[in-house]
């Protein structure tokens, strides 16, 4: 059992002592890309072979793909703001819970601007190597976004109503 625990913890023990600081620097750099469209930060903190597992079809990888996503989001949503609510890092990865807010003033996924304000939650996970982000995964509350933009208004049906309708 002790060997299994040692094996499980080996990646944590092998990381360089400054790994936590390096991961934090990458996280701050990434925030500058979305917050300020900082091209220098994109090229410094996003690896050339960066893979965004959540990117839209046709969006390339690397710093240019990441910048393209940031530009697209800023063109669709004025006053866009990403507020980091929680940040956790371990080894070569970090996770953050983010509140994304703004106003829908441009085309978003084929939907014309509604002019409505919104506030939703995101979860983002990154893997870092050699001081650069190499992978990203995300989970976004897009259902709430659609509701707040007035694009999805489900009927108010309780679970009991739904069960009765299926009977």
Name all domains of the chain by residue range, CATH numbers in brackets: 17-152 (3.10.450.50)
Q: Tell me the per-residue pLDDT of 139-165, one tens digit each, with 9 for 90 and over.
A: 999 999 999 999 887 766 667 766 777
pTM: 0.79
Contact between 19 and 34 (Cβ < 8 Å): no
- The residue with greater pLDDT, 5 or 31, is 31
Asked if the model's pLDDT at residue 117 lies above 90, the reply is yes
pLDDT at 10: 54
Structure tokens at 155: 């009927």
Q: What crossing angle do the helices spanning 62-76 and 19-36 adopt, rounded to 10°?
A: 40
Structure tokens at 85: 């609510």
Asked if the model's pLDDT at residue 9 lies above 80, the reply is no
Q: Using 50, 70 and 90 to split pLDDT, how confident is the model at 3?
A: low
pLDDT at 104: 97
- 88, β-bridge pairs: 95
Report the pLDDT averaged over residues 84-92. 90
Query: Helix (H, G, I), strand (E, B), or coil: what is residue 154?
Result: coil
Contact between 132 and 47 (Cβ < 8 Å): yes
Q: Which long-range contacts (CB under 8 A, 24 or more apart) does 15-22 make?
A: 15/91, 15/92, 19/91, 19/92, 20/89, 22/128, 22/131
Q: Using 50, 70 and 90 to split pLDDT, how confident is the model at 12?
A: very low
pLDDT at 39: 95
């Amino acid at each position: 059992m002790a060997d299994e625990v040692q094996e499980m913890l080996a990646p944590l023990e092998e990381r360089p002592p400054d790994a936590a600081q390096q991961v934090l620097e990458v996280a701050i750099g990434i925030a500058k890309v979305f917050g300020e469209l900082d091209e220098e930060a994109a090229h410094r903190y996003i690896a050339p072979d960066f893979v965004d597992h959540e990117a839209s079809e046709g969006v390339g990888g690397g710093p240019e793909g990441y910048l393209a996503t940031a530009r697209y989001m800023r063109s669709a949503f004025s006053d866009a703001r990403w507020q980091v609510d929680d940040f956790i890092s371990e080894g070569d990865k970090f996770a953050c819970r983010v509140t994304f807010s703004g106003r829908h003033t441009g085309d978003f996924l084929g939907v014309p601007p509604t002019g409505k304000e919104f506030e939703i939650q995101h979860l983002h996970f990154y893997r870092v190597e050699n001081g650069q982000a190499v992978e990203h995964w995300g989970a976004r509350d897009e259902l709430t976004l659609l509701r707040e933009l007035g694009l999805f208004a489900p009927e108010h049906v309780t679970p009991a109503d739904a069960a009765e309708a299926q009977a």
